[in-house]
Structure formats: C-alpha cells, structure tokens
Chain A
Amino acid sequence: MVSHLSRIRHGLAASLRHFALFGSGVCLAFGCAQVDPVPASATADTGAAWTCQPCVQRADCGTSWCVQFASDTYCAADCATSACADGLTCKLLITESGDSVKACVPAVETCSAIGNLPDSSAATCTMDGPDTPSCCTGCGASGGCQTNGCYNGWFCDNSACKCVASPSGVVCGGADVTVAEDSTPLDVQPMDVPPGTLTPAGGTLPDLAFAIVGDTRPALIEDTQGYPSAIAAKIWQGVQSAGVPFAVTTGDYMFASAYGTQSAPQLDLYLAAASAYAGLRLPAMGNHECTGSTTSNCGAGGKDGVTKNFSNYLAKMLAPIGLASPWYTFRVNAPDNSWTAKFVFIAANAWNAQQAAWLDAEMAKPTTYTFVVRHEPVAANTAPGVTPSEAIVKKYPVTLRLVGHTHTYAYKPDTHEVVVGNGGAPLSGGVNYGYVLVKRRPDAAIEFRAVDYSTGQVSSTFAINADGSPAP
C-alpha cells in the first residue's frame, strides 16, 4: 500500500516546491480539504456553571480555575469555599500550571461540545477510541486533543466526531499507533521462574532471571499529557507475561522542571503503567530525576541540591520499596549458593564521596555475577558520577553494565554494557520501544533477549559469561 506521505508527494507532484535557500529538496504538498476553524477562545468567566469552556491558562477563565479534566483543560469554578451548581461535583484537580485546587466539574469526564462541527452535540473528550464519540473541537486548544490532530495514537476525526484509528500509512501519535487495538499476543515464553524470597535488599531464587526497562518520559519538558503511558503499560504487560521475578529500570521516569509541579504526576503515570507488573521493580536514578541536565548532581554535596524531581523520585520510587538512598545493592543467590549475583545501582547524578566509598566496598564483595546498573553509559561522561564510578568499577570483575540514557537498545561489548533506553522516551536509534529479558542458562552463561514491545517478538539476543566475555 502506498503510504499517505508517498501519495501526497505523488498526487501533487506538479505543485512540488523545494527549499529555496537551503537546498534540502523536500517537497511541499498539502491536501485542500476545508474545515471550519475552531472558534477563538473567549476569556469569559464560567461562574459556577459548567460550560465546557476550554482554556490555556487561568487568565482565560476569569475568577475560575483552568483545570486538567477529561484529557484537556477547562475553566471550572472554585469549590473550596462554595458549593457547586447542580449536576456538578467538587473534585481535587490539577490546574494547567500544576497546582492542586478544588473545582466543580461534571461527575463523569465528559464535556458538552463546543463548535460548529457535525454531530457535536454527542461529543465527549474521553478519547477512548473509535467506539466513543469525541468531537475534538469540543476539547479546546490544549495539547491532549488537537483538532484534526492525533492524540495517543488516535486520530481526531471531526467529520465523524470520533477518535478513530490512524489512517493507514499516516504517522499519528508515533509508536502509540501500534498500541491501539493491538491484540497480538506476546511471543515471549514465560520463564517459569518459581517465586523465591525477594526483598529490595535481595534474596534467593532457583535461577537468575530478570527484565530491564529504561527511559520512560515525554519528549518535551512538563508535557505530562504527552507522557508515554500506553507504551509503558504495554512494556510492563510484556514483562509481566515473561514471568520474571524482578526488573531493573535504568532511570529517567520524567521530564519535568527541577522545581516545578510535574514530576509527581509524571511519576504517578509511570507507576500506574508499571503496575501491570507484579514483580519487584528496582530503579536506577537518571539525570531527569535531578534537574534533567546530564551534568546535574543532586543530593548531599551535589551542586543542584534537593530538587523536586529528586525528592519525588525518592518518595515515590524508592521509599515504597524501603530504600532511602539512590545508590544501593541488590543481591540474589541460588538457594544452595551455587551462584551469587549482585546488582550495584550507581546514581551518577547524585555523586559524592560517600557514594564512592560505598561503591568501592560493594564492588569488592565477591559474587559469581556482578551487574553495574547506572543510568548513563560509559560514553555519557558529562554526568558527574560516570568517570569517577568507572575508575572504581574497573578495579573489579564485572559481568555487564546495565545502562540507559540513550533512547534505544544496544549491546556494546567494547564497553561491556547493554543500553536499554527504549522504554517510551523519544527514540534516538532505529530500535523500536521495548525491553530486555535476561536469564541464566544451564551452562551458567547469561542470555539477554531484546523484545519489541509492539509485537512481543525477540529482536536481538546475545549471551555472556560471568566474566563478561562473549558466550556462544
């Protein structure tokens, strides 16, 4: 089938134009279907009634709040000190700027349609897919539901007032498209590892098997609406299907201003997606859990101190599993101690002398397998803790470094690391979103299988021995 992009080019070849100045040779070609424009937003006060007035900022709403509701932002009357009008309910909501407020909204997440499009009276903004009427003009101007655009893999079809599957060959929501109505069963054989006795400190397992997931965040800062929840959920569903008892995550769970309000809601979205997996999740800290900059350094002694991103990471990701420090060790052994393994979680964006001393001591403890888990790979050496941690790690035996940061999957035998950064963050390489399954083989080698999240198919495998050397 000819892609839509190709069809545009072919059908309108006569109108091709080229970049005049810069010689890039990209054709311009557009269809000409006309639709009525979205009425300009009025800056009216909604008062106590619900009028489904879309907003971008609070100034659009007079004395009301501009709140996130039904996948968009709407003006809603304050109910902290007064009752809501009939038919509305007072809810704790997040404003467009991230503040928590009490505001009056409909009990169900729908909005009456605004605009002049067909069948708009039936419109809602739930964006649940093709079976739910959803005339996007009614959803206002904010990012989650743009007229004639795409959202979460769905195409907002104004002519039918529905969110429908993307037309064939059309890029609509990126990889989210593959999430929509994808019922392809995962082709990952469950590893059938019987549950052992695992805590965040470690435990025993009859065999070593785990998953690696890394880098789950939106492309743009503060873009909580653009959080890749659907991708992350499908990844974690795949991990769950694989039956591994624990998973290692390589960092970056948010893209939020260091002292802003969006780190907590983004972490909540991550945790909601990850809840599809019932096993133990062991997180590494990424640069986005500090300020976002690879050069940032948080925590005691760090130049960036304790940011909201950092404190929320500690509170939401580590505290619930009983961890207080972003660097820690997870040890797991065979019941008969015929093999032992340690996972040393380095926080290169919370680097200090205390962590360096801890790392040296932990690496010195002998184990059959040693996995160094750190967000940044060896080459991302602008992170404060990469070069100094490498100086320590290199003194000791290492099976493999498990890293992320680069938004792709790659095995790099020259630096003894596997990059798993394709957990939903904007891809930088040619590998699709996915995860890695790891299992100790009967010959004691460790096998890594990269899985494409959309198909469940294993896209790449490699195996190494305990000393990191290649295994057949």
Chain B
Amino acid sequence: MVHQPVPPAELPLFAPRAFQPLALDGALTESIWRAAAHSGPFADEQTGQPAVPHSELRLADDGERLLLGLYAADEDIVAKAKQTDPLDPADDAFIVHIQHPGGTAPYELYVSANGTIRETAAAPAATAQHLAASSCAVEMDGSLNNPDDDDEEWVVECIVPLARLGAHIGDTLEFAVKRCDTPKNAARRCGVWLRRVQIQ
C-alpha cells in the first residue's frame, strides 16, 4: 500500500529556541542556524519547481524575537535604493510577510542586498511606534551593482521582535517569503516559500 502523506505545506514547521546571543553580522555561523527550521529551496512562482537562483530561509527564536536567516545565490547582486530612497523594484531583496492567524494586519519586512530595510508592524500604530525595530545585517560574496563581474551569494541575518508581529511563544504564524532576481541576460523571476511556523 502506498501511503499518501499529508502535504508538508499543510503542517507547521517548528522554530527552535536559541539559547545563546546572536551576533548580527550576516554570517550564519552560530549553531542555532544549523538547528533552525529550514525552508528548503523556494518554489518558482510560475512553475512550482525549485526556484533558481537558489533561495532559502532558516527560522528560530530567542524567546522574545524571531531570528531569520536568508540565503540568496546570486551571480549579479544588485541593490541601489538606500535606506532613505524609494524602493527600487529591480533590487535584489527578500520580502517576508507574516500573518498571525488571530491578528488583523500582517507584518512585512523588506530587506535588500545592500541592507535597506522596510517593515510594518502587525500591532496597532499607536503601539507599534513604541516597539523596538527589527534589524538585519547582510553579508555578500561578490560586488554590489557591478554587472561586469560574477558574484556568488548574499546572506541576511535578521532579528524581528515578536511584539511587532503581535505574536507570542507558542503561536503559529503564516509565512510567505518571496525573492526575485534578474540573472545576467535573462528575465526576472521569483521564488516563494509559503508555510506555517510555530514559535517554540
């Protein structure tokens, strides 16, 4: 008899707890990143097959904050908009969308390859303004905005206060993470990852 498993997207992943402080440097060297829940490769938005260039996400928490590790293979790293600029849709970036099932508004985080960050809070605006902001660090192997050379990858390490998500330990959150890339001499394409994650 062939057993038909429940599709994994219908079951939650579990984000484990980090017991040691994280050095927010973009290098996913801490042991928690090996223990973290991992997404596997993102799916191509059009085909559902593993997206190229490869992207993946790792998730953990430290009891008060969500820890995100994001990996992006990239032969041409492009990110021109700086923190004070309007976002450039051609920039290499991750968009992390998190919905608390009991909440009304989603949380969204945009982080590009040059470290530009935008975020919203799921909490009401009056509350959100008092919340600590999320922070991210980016490490890349390659050169930014130089199409004449070959790059290898960029990695993002982020800390997101659970309060910004309106979430607590034990909650299950709905994640949608997207990364788009424009390879050399090819059309822009996007990979997505959709999954529920329980914070432990």
Q: Which residues of A contact B (CB under 8 A)?
A: 3-6, 8, 17, 19-24, 26-33, 35, 37-38, 40-41, 56-57, 59-60, 73, 96-97, 130, 141-143, 146-150, 155, 157-160, 162, 164, 166-167, 169-175, 219-226, 257, 260, 287, 292-294, 376-377, 379-382, 405-408, 425-430
B6 part of interface (Cβ distance < 8 Å)? yes
**16 A-B contacts (beta carbon < 8 Å):** A5-B9, A17-B97, A21-B108, A22-B95, A22-B118, A31-B9, A40-B200, A59-B19, A141-B14, A142-B35, A146-B37, A170-B9, A171-B41, A171-B42, A426-B71, A428-B53
Q: Could you tell me which residues of chain B, from 37 to 80, have a CB within 8 Å of some CB in chain A?
A: 37-38, 40-43, 45, 47-50, 52-54, 56, 58, 69, 71, 73-75
Q: Is the CB of B73 within 8 A of A294?
A: no
A219/B56 contact (C-beta < 8 A), A38-B200, A143-B34, A160-B5 known: yes
Partner of A172, one of B19, B40, B141, B143: B40
B194 at the interface (CB under 8 A from A): yes
Contact A150 B8 (CB under 8 A): yes
B7, A20: Cβ atoms under 8 Å?
A: no
Interface pairs A-B: 3 shortest CB-CB: A31-B10, A426-B54, A3-B48
Q: Nearest-CB distance from A177 to chain B (Å)? A: 8
Q: Which residues of B contact A147 (CB under 8 A)?
A: 11, 13-14
User: In the bound complex, do residue A97 and residue B31 qualify as a contact, i.e. CB atoms below 8 Å apart?
Assistant: yes
Contact: A30 with B149, CB < 8 Å? no
Main secondary structure of the interface of A (DSSP, over half): loop
**Is there an interface contact between A20 and B106, defined as CB atoms closer than 8 Å?**
yes
CB distance from A400 to the nearest CB of B (A): 17
The interface size of chain B toward A, counting residues with CB under 8 Å, comes to 81
Interface string of B123-147 (1 = CB under 8 A from A): 0000000000000000001110000
Is B48 within 8 A of A169, CB to CB? yes
With beta carbons under 8 angstroms apart, the residue of A33, A59, A96, A287 that contacts B6 is A33
CA distance A219 to B97 in the complex (A): 23
Q: CB within 8 A of A142: which of B12, B34, B194? A: B34
Contacts of B41 in A (CB 8 A): 171, 174, 426
Known: A26-B192, A28-B176, A37-B200. A155 touches B5 (CB 8 A): yes
Chain B: CB-nearest residue to A3: B48
Give the shortest distance, in Å, between A27 (CB) and chain B (any CB). Answer: 8
Which residues of B lie under 8 Å from residue A4 when comparing CB positions?
A: 7, 9, 48
CB distance from A452 to the nearest CB of B (A): 14
B34 near A19 (CB under 8 angstroms)?
no
CB–CB B35/A56 < 8 A: yes
**Chain A residue at minimum C-beta to C-beta distance from B32:** A56
Q: How far is A155 from B6 in the complex, measured between Cα atoms in Å?
A: 10
Which residues from B are CB-within-8-Å of A26? 45, 95, 97, 176, 178, 190, 192
Interfacial chain A residues near B36, Cβ < 8 Å: 143
Cβ contacts under 8 Å, B28 to chain A: 220-222
Name which residue of chain B comes closest to A225, CB basis.
B34
Judging by beta carbons under 8 Å apart, are B54 and A430 in contact? no
| Given known contacts A143-B36, A170-B7, A382 and B149 CB-to-CB distance under 8 angstroms | yes
A148-B14, A408-B75 are known contacts; what are 9 more A-B pairs with Cβ within 8 Å? A37-B12, A73-B35, A96-B35, A148-B11, A170-B9, A220-B33, A220-B58, A223-B34, A429-B53
Query: Which one, B8, B12, B52, B56, contacts A428 given CB within 8 A?
Result: B52
B87 → A minimal CB distance (Å): 7
**A-chain residues with CB within 8 Å of residue B5 when the two chains form the complex:** 155, 157, 159-160, 164, 167
What are the residues of chain A within 8 A of B152 when measuring CB–CB?
287, 294, 380, 405-407, 428
Give bound CA distance, A258 to B17, whole Å: 26
- In the complex, residue of chain A having the shortest beta-carbon distance to the beta carbon of B59: A146
Residues of B within 8 A of A17 (CB): 97, 99, 106
